[in-house]
A and B are shown apart, each in its own frame.
Chain A
């Protein structure tokens, strides 16, 4: 099962993914895909240290699949919406990413 670590940035609340070098990125495409449970647990532990350091809030592991274009897509709809923005689209202030997932 492939996973990623998702969280919200403390200061601005934006959704972020744990990326390479343990930095946080806003675009899921730049985040680190975790291939096995051990790697996932280690990444989560890192994320929790960042939470204790007041960088992020509430880091969790989410399941993803990789699509044909190589882009990770969260399996759960809630996480997909967090990754790609509201499905109601840019007209309602959805971020640009919402075009990716569509309806």
Chain B
């Protein structure tokens, strides 16, 4: 993974020193809250319901054991003994004191972790595929370009006061695990006719109040032009993006207002004109230099041991379930990708204690070349596990309650923090998530249901990404009472789609029953090999509407 050099260290140190001064000035009353708020947001410091919240970047989801231990230390020393992984490959602490933030930032900097631009109207954490570098279906490791984009976007003098936040995601695989189609800029690596690797560039995707799927602005951008092309997209957004209404300020709004053709025209014009002026070039040797940081680890030459694993699984049903659901095939023979689920029945999705983090760091050191990943569903990954260590790793994870075998299954629920923590929320999302995971405990039943994503958001800002959940749940406030609206059919993969509204909002107690009804109806209707999403796309929403609201029955009675 990338290692800071003196330039990176110095920039971060200067940033922290600046923020330390700003905090001191705020506490002394030399600057007001209005003046201070954008400064603290640019360092990831939110004031939420109970305390300050600190959002920490895990750049493109790659984490070292040393960094994870530091996260545990922060949780223990400055917070209440736990941290929360988000849907954008960040970790959040929800009980932070402002006066301690500069010290926390220094501690994080000592392990090359920052909170720079984790909030604010600027380019945020660049996110990517959690299986980068190890997935069998990968074309190229996207993290090389994520790191280049990260440096490019940090404290960019022209783009630090964009109309609104800006999120970029990169995938190096045709199976997009980074949800590029719902980002402000999505980058899909692929090969052109000449066999060269480059980027399809998408713009204007996003969730929230007005969700959109991104448009392709260019089929092909060569790697050496990537930063300059992104610069042109950002420049046109900075100039044309709306600043009259905070809810209309994202790039998705202006792209759809102008139309993708006009937006493209403006970007291409700027890109052509910028050729003779200083622009961020990306020479091949620089790409190679960064790529060297992402070289594969010193793998042993091993064979796949499928038969042995099958035999182990045959003798141990619990291990078998975990092996089947949480372990993904690895590019390197003899190795496997282990998903560490933070989704025990009744758990708060994404929460992890300091003890679990320390123990997991030890496991990473012993079994995964000291490296972990953060995915987009509030789970973690050990990316380099030898197949012959799988049973041992499983039993150790199991002892830590980190081995619930439900990856991508119904109880692998994603949830934002919601009204229990967040000042923006309208409803509590965590109790709903917990109720669902507590209701669907039988792993065999979960396996029979198959892959289905449930996403819960506590307000229209959609931090739970409910629009792209196969089942989406949106909490709303109606006359002081919490209601939950369900959507079906969302997905963030190659055929990204936004969910369709199922019907009137349900009370919190009614949600698990509704999920049961939806699942039962799916099981009745599905054909051979169909996942929930496939069946939904085939039969439409009506059968599920009836299942939940019983309309057909009412009609029959009337």
Contacts and interface: CB of A to CB of B under 8 A. Distances in A.
Contact of A92 (B48, B52, B351): B351
23 contacts: A8-B47, A8-B51, A10-B26, A10-B27, A11-B99, A12-B51, A12-B99, A13-B47, A13-B51, A15-B51, A54-B26, A54-B27, A57-B47, A76-B480, A77-B419, A85-B50, A86-B421, A87-B420, A87-B431, A92-B351, A93-B351, A95-B50, A95-B80
A78 B419 contact: yes
Given A10-B27, A11-B99, A82-B50, A88 B94 contact: no
A78 B99 contact: no
Nearest to A87: B420
Closest 5 CB pairs of A and B: A93-B80, A86-B420, A12-B97, A13-B52, A13-B51
B431 A88 contact: yes
A27 interface: no
A81 interface: yes
Contacts of A54: 26-29
B27 A92 contact: no
Nearest to B33: A57
Contact of A13 (B27, B82, B97, B425): B97
A15 B27 contact: no
Contacts of A53: 29
Interface string A65-88: 000000000001110011001111
B96 interface: yes
Contacts, number: 81
Contacts of A11: 27, 97-99
Contacts of A88: 348, 420, 430-431, 434
B81 interface: yes
A87 B433 CA distance: 13
A10 B48 CA distance: 12
**Majority DSSP secondary structure for residues of A touching B:** loop
Interface in B70-104: 79-82, 94-99
Nearest to A8: B47
Nearest to B23: A11
A58 to B, nearest CB: 8
B39 interface: no
Interface of A: 8, 10-15, 53-54, 57-58, 76-78, 81-82, 85-88, 91-95, 103
B224 to A, nearest CB: 46
A82 B51 CA distance: 9
Nearest to A82: B49
A19 to B, nearest CB: 19
B23 to A, nearest CB: 9
Contact of A77 (B82, B96, B430, B482): B482
B164 interface: no
B386 interface: no
A94 B419 CA distance: 13
Contact of B98 (A12, A15, A85): A12
Contacts of B351: 92-93
A26 to B, nearest CB: 11
B428 interface: yes
Interface core residue of B27, B81, B351, B420 (most chain A CB under 10 Å)? B420
A28 to B, nearest CB: 13
Contact of A93 (B79, B419, B431): B79
A15 B26 CA distance: 19
Interface string B27-47: 111000100000000000001
